[in-house]
Structure 1
Amino acid sequence: MASRDSREYEFIPRIINPVKMKRARFFAADGHVRESRKVLVEKMPWLVTDVLPDPQSVLAAVSGEPSVFLFDDTGLAILDAKALRSRSPDSVFVLLSFQPYIQFAPPQAAAQKYPYTTGADLVFAVNRDAFPPESIILPAVRAAEDLLNIKKHSSLRRFIFHIVDDEPRWFSQFLPVLYAIIGQRADVMITRTYEESLSFLFGVEEESKIRAESRLPRGHGDDVVCLITDIFFPKGDELQSGAGRDLIRLVNRRFPRIPVIIASKAKEAHELQGLGFVLPKGDPGSLEKLREHILNFTGMGDFLVSDDEGRELHRAKNIQEICGILLQAEKDNEEARRLRQLLENYGDKDKFSTWLYMHSYRELGDRLRPRRSRGRELITLLKRNLQVEIARLDRTPLAMGGEKIFHLPDLLAALRSLPPETIQPYSDNDIISSWLDRRGYPELAEELRPIHGSGTELRQTLVEIVDKWITVYRERDSRP
């Protein structure tokens, strides 16, 4: 019998979208939209993509496979979208709109002027300058896959960024950045009205119908890890209402653990500063500020401990460094007592379990999430569980193509020797990055996360990046 010290533990990656899009079908008059298909062929090679020539061929393109239909304004305007939807229940319809009015208008106003917009599940702005179709197509397809999984297919615990805005132009600017940050660690859900937002979060369309005891099973609020919302979007018949203020206050009251990003340049946003992080939407540097905030406050990046005024006190890149923070909290002095109080608040807001989930410690997150300990008992509980995981790290290999990978040199050797088609799904599904996060190499994980492709080019890119970071970590006296 193997000794306890030699036991191996299985690394089980968390797949957020168990249902993958299988087909991407284009019906568009605009040549640039049709040409964007080449991006999917290169970056999402598992997708079967085709360009359909006329409405009859679209209606005939019925498939039981999960599919995304991509239209421009002309394509969707001349199509019987209802007929297609009735034949393709596992499909998502995406409109890539060149119409300036649609790009800025609330959905109700757009529908009045351009009725065909009601046939789309998702609407993105495209043009020849800031939003060329080839730069929007990847996040559009990914958002369609997220929507399909959230609404129809997955009963798994989910992690969702909830985006509330009525302008498709903002989605085209923002989603490419967001997906590059989150990779396959979380989904994105877009709502464009107050009622849609309530329905998603609470399962009702009127605030008066929210009952605290029933909100979790009926809505998705418990799965949301960040709310990013504008101030002004439709509520009822009022197309330019300040519904964002109501939504922010409601989420703060019902889900105080959810970090809120207020994406607005309106002066009203600054009145809500105490309820969320104000991001001046569209300002120079705003997307970089967004990236930094998401990494720091949604569990995606370092584990950050801040005081009540927002001053950073401690930062940890891995569970070993989190244990170091816990050791400081064990001390018998006033500073340690204040740190314990802060960590109690973190526990109440599920910040420990969320960080663990995002860094591929799913089982540990599940164990800790329902626990509500206080003071030294909390510190002891956390430290004991983290130390168990630390002891297992060197015995939890990444299994890839029959190879067991324990350390970075093992990963480099496997990437060099395995066929590209074996490596590709591990890259596409963030499995390599998830394992690296767990092993305490977050910088390398972040650099690999947005990389997609196929063939020898993908393999060579991965090899070069891993080789570079092995050198970096060695110079830092880490343990590659």
Structure 2
Amino acid sequence: MSNKQHIKKFDFEPRIINPVKIKNAVFLSGNEQVREASAALKEYMPWIDIIVLADPITASEYKSDQASVLLFDDTALAFVDSQKIKSNNEDAVLVLLSSNELINKSSPSIAEKKYPYTSKADLIFAIDNNEFLPENIITSVVRCAEDKLNIEKYSKERRYIFLLVDDEPRWFSQFLPLLYKIIGQRADVMMTRTYEQALMFLFGVTSPSEIPEDHFSQGYGDDVVCLITDIFFPKNNNLESDAGRELVKLVNDLYPRIPIIIASKAKEAEDLRKIAYIMPKGDPGSLDTLSDYINDFTGMGDFVIRGKAGKEHYRIKHILELHEIILKAEKSTKKAEKLRQFLQMYGERDYFSTWLYMHGFRKLGDELRPRRDSGQRLVTVLKRYLKREILRMEFTPLIIDGREIFDLYDLIKLLKSTEPEKIQHLSDNDAFSNWLDRKGYPELAEEFRPVHGSGNKLRETLVNIVEKWITIYQAKP
């Protein structure tokens, strides 16, 4: 570290998609399994304070200046004053953990007509004694509440949202734990349950006829990195509507860079296979390839360059390799000319910036979105920007407890000597992985991402991971 003390350094700005963390989880439930799920929540999210209340009156009087999620079963939510809770708490998300079969298999309008209390909830999830045990879904429930709060009020990041569209809460309980295992802290999830809700989120309107020409100027569409949707969900309260088909075609037309996953076994989904990945809902086998698809097409994993027919030509792990590919495109050969055509297509579709945002290069992503250059001009521009960022990487330290870290040996030394509470927030906010990604260690960054916890156990886990990968990197030619 000493030889870098007197050189110009660049600030490391981690990609933190949720600047506001849920600090309090408030439980009001007569269901013992729901109350006991708080133990699993405390283990995975140790920064959260657990509050178990005894009656609806106390819950209605709840007040905190910290971000809170309030979790109710069906009986409890029916009796609480949700308006009072909202007025007393600026950052509160109300969640219904429902064991009611009709609610869990129905659209919002049907559920609200039969059980009006469902309208009080910001989010609804299914629970039962078998597939949807509260302890197995509770961390995903709280994370989804945190995502919703940050998307709507606090996050300043770009390209970070997975939009889910389905009308049945049981699907969210089944799918979200799987999705969060894949995306970690790299993206947020927003759930919508009707065609109108999806349009409002994407475009800020409730009808396609209202979408302005500069459609990216309102709504959150420009920040969506993946759409996961059913085929059948309500449109104008019409439960038979194949609204998913219309939504898929609309998004593909206006946001062609957004990869689309259709979660459905309906035969109507097959007609959209050319523009979407089909994942048969409830089929365990389909989940095996889901992780690869998400990593390859949303910018989270490698930068994969494909031709128009979908054939993979190049797979790039970090910007050093991307820079090498750009240098190949400078040559005066037919292969280089074809590569330039690929790069132009990716620039026009804004793929560069999405991948760069996901890997922590926000400023570079801003500069490259979208590039309208072509041929050698595009290659020259990409080479200049990438070279500048690569030169900066060496002099961009990660700071732990006021001390600067420039390489893996610095990292392992400080992890061993720093108090665990001073590194926990870096792990919780994915800052370690973000920095490692920028430094050209994508594999190590990926292994850091699912690590949560506290105390010496967290520190020992991180130390062991770094030591393992130092050995692996040293063995590489």
- TM-score strictly above 0.5: yes
User: Number of paired residues?
Assistant: 475
- Cα offset for 1:102? 2.0
Match of 2:107 in 1: 106
- Cα offset for 1:3? 10
8 Å contact 2:444–2:466 — kept in the other structure?
yes
Distance, in Å, in 2 between the alignment partners of 1:345 and 1:250 is 21
Distance, in Å, in 1 between the alignment partners of 2:474 and 2:104 is 49
Q: Is 1:257 aligned to 2:254, yes or no?
A: no
8 Å contact 1:174–1:287 — kept in the other structure?
no
8 Å contact 2:19–2:155 — kept in the other structure?
yes
Q: Which runs of 4+ in 1 moved over 4 A?
A: 2-5
Change (3 A) 1:83 1:471: same
Match of 2:28 in 1: 27
The superposition leaves residues 24-48 of structure 1 with CA deviations (integer Å, 9 ceiling, x where unpaired) of 1111111111111112222222222
The superposition leaves residues 152-195 of structure 1 with CA deviations (integer Å, 9 ceiling, x where unpaired) of 23455452111111121221222122222222222111101000
Match of 2:363 in 1: 363
Letter in 1 for 2:282: G
Q: Is 1:458 aligned to 2:458, yes or no?
A: yes
In terms of mean alpha carbon deviation, does 342-351 or 319-328 score higher? 319-328
Query: What is the correspondence of 1:26-175 to structure 2 with a 5 Å cutoff?
Result: 26-157=27-158, 159-175=160-176
3-state secondary structure, aligned to 2:423: helix
Distance, in Å, in 2 between the alignment partners of 1:140 and 1:263 is 20
Distance, in Å, in 1 between the alignment partners of 2:326 and 2:344 is 12
Distance, in Å, in 2 between the alignment partners of 1:48 and 1:5 is 43
Query: What is the correspondence of 1:382-397 to structure 2 with a 5 Å cutoff?
Result: 382-397=382-397
Letter in 2 for 1:340: R
- Cα offset for 1:127? 1.8
Distance, in Å, in 1 between the alignment partners of 2:350 and 2:335 is 23
Q: Is 1:205 aligned to 2:227, yes or no?
A: no
In terms of mean alpha carbon deviation, does 99-108 or 55-64 score higher? 99-108
Query: What is the correspondence of 1:60-459 to structure 2 with a 5 Å cutoff?
Result: 60-157=61-158, 159-213=160-214, 215-459=215-459
Distance, in Å, in 2 between the alignment partners of 1:64 and 1:189 is 24
TM-score normalised by structure 1 residue count: 0.95
The superposition leaves residues 343-386 of structure 1 with CA deviations (integer Å, 9 ceiling, x where unpaired) of 11111111111111111111111122254211111111111211
The superposition leaves residues 289-348 of structure 1 with CA deviations (integer Å, 9 ceiling, x where unpaired) of 111101001110001001111111100111111122212222222222222111111111
Change (3 A) 1:155 1:440: closer
8 Å contact 1:16–1:158 — kept in the other structure?
no
TM-score normalised by structure 2 residue count: 0.96
8 Å contact 1:303–1:316 — kept in the other structure?
yes
Distance, in Å, in 2 between the alignment partners of 1:288 and 1:404 is 40
3-state secondary structure, aligned to 2:22: coil
8 Å contact 1:231–1:242 — kept in the other structure?
yes
- Cα offset for 1:399? 0.8
RMSD: 1.8
The superposition leaves residues 64-111 of structure 1 with CA deviations (integer Å, 9 ceiling, x where unpaired) of 322110111222123232332333342111111222222221111222
Unaligned residue ranges in structure 1 (runs of 5+): none
In terms of mean alpha carbon deviation, does 295-304 or 259-268 score higher? 259-268
Letter in 2 for 1:192: R
Change (3 A) 1:257 1:94: same
3-state secondary structure, aligned to 1:285: helix
